[in-house]
Amino acid sequence: METKLLTTSAKDIAIAAGLIRQGGIVAMPTETVYGLAADALNGEAVKKIFAAKGRPADNPLIVHIADLSQIGELTDDFPEKARFLAEAFWPGPLTMILPRSSRVPPIVSAGLPTVAIRFPSHPAAQRLIRESCPLAAPSANLSGSPSPTTFRHVREDMMGRADAIIDGGDCAVGVESTVITLLSDPPRLLRPGGITAEQLRDVIGPVTVDEAVCRPLREGEAPASPGMKYKHYAPCAQVILLQGGEDDFVAYVNAHAGDGVGALCDSEETARLQVPCMALGPAEDLEKQAHELFAALRGADERGWKTVYAHCPPQTGVGLAVYNRMVRAAGFCVIPLGKEEVV
Ligand code: TXA
Ligand code: MG
């Protein structure tokens, strides 16, 4: 398939909107990660997204809107808490799970009775939606790979697979949107992201965090969000998460230095590490760490690393989103560090 490379100019967005209206698929920038978009109300077009990504058919997609008036096409029930969240965080990196209207083809939601809705803040995504329609769009990576946060990443994964790719530069947030379901009471966080659990509670009161955010699903356990059950964000290299303070992290990594060993670390640790490393950002700057994470996971493979030791972030604020992606990239391999473990 020929893949057109487009810019965010008005002329190019019009071309992209035309491709969407004809049932094509277009990779578009958003403020979180790049998405692979199709007309959300055209089941045949949406099918192409699953094929291009190699995405399992039971993993539902998020529908992106650019005007609150589009909500009525997607759900018949937009409760008060959803309205409060929309006022506080839309446009922005928040996805809400609501009852699915019969107008949304079942394939979008992998047959679930619900639909995931997000209003992105990226101007190019908004313009594309306004000139076409609500867009179903998962992250624009090949299924299982780290989500694309730069034009180069999305080109690597989607050249020859999408009708067009829009170059919007680097994504500002760098991890995917926060996903919250409003079908449970209290509402439940299914995927942490740029909007934190603390921020959500400030607006609507109690919000629970689904247990599967930080641990693997148990044998036979049905996930609240199908995406939870798949291995995600994984580079080819084996990622091992090390949980502990800076001194213990540095000592453990240096004790395990060797061919093909690298580290994802805090900026403060780089000078002390005796293996090749990539700093995600200062220990205190979790927004920066979120922004760098996916590029670093891809970078580990580009550098030919076979084993990657990553320093576990705190599980609060945006740190929870970073932890959630890292622990999945690591296949839930976490080593708690105490002095006695460093041999
Ligand atoms: O920031 C984002 O959310 C990006 C950009 C492109 O908007 N999109 C994204 O989509 O991350 P995707 O498909 O990679 O992740 C969507 C997640 C999956 O874990 C999926 O299982 C979950 O949301 N999801 C979608 N619809 C759902 C539903 N109806 N019920 C429960 N989980 C749902
Ligand atoms: Mg994804």
pLDDT value of residue 340: 55
Give 208 Cα–ligand 2 centroid separation in angstroms.
22
pLDDT value of residue 228: 78
Q: Of ligand 1's atoms, which has the minimum distance to the CA of residue 173? A: 1
What is the value of pTM for the model shown? 0.96
Give 140 Cα–ligand 1 centroid separation in angstroms.
12
pLDDT value of residue 203: 98
Give 165 Cα–ligand 1 centroid separation in angstroms.
20
pLDDT value of residue 157: 97
Low-confidence ranges of the chain (pLDDT < 70): 230-231, 339-343
Q: Cβ(172) to ligand 1 under 6 A? A: no
Which ligand is closest in space to the CA of residue 59? 1
Q: How far apart are CA 258 and CA 97, in angstroms?
A: 46
Q: Cβ(141) to ligand 1 under 6 A? A: no
CA angle (75 as vertex; 31, 181 as ends), nearest 5: 60
Residue of 26, 33, 95, 233 to test ligand 1 pocket, by largest number of atoms within 8 Å of CB: 95
Q: How far apart are CA 29 and CA 320, in angstroms?
A: 24
Give 279 Cα–ligand 1 centroid separation in angstroms.
28
Which ligand is closest in space to the CA of residue 233? 2
Give 34 Cα–ligand 2 centroid separation in angstroms.
10
Q: How far apart are CA 60 and CA 123, in angstroms?
A: 25
pLDDT value of residue 339: 59
Closest CA to 61 of 72, 46, 48, 51: 46
Q: How far apart are CA 171 and CA 160, in angstroms?
A: 22
Q: Cβ(142) to ligand 1 under 6 A? A: no
pLDDT value of residue 342: 47
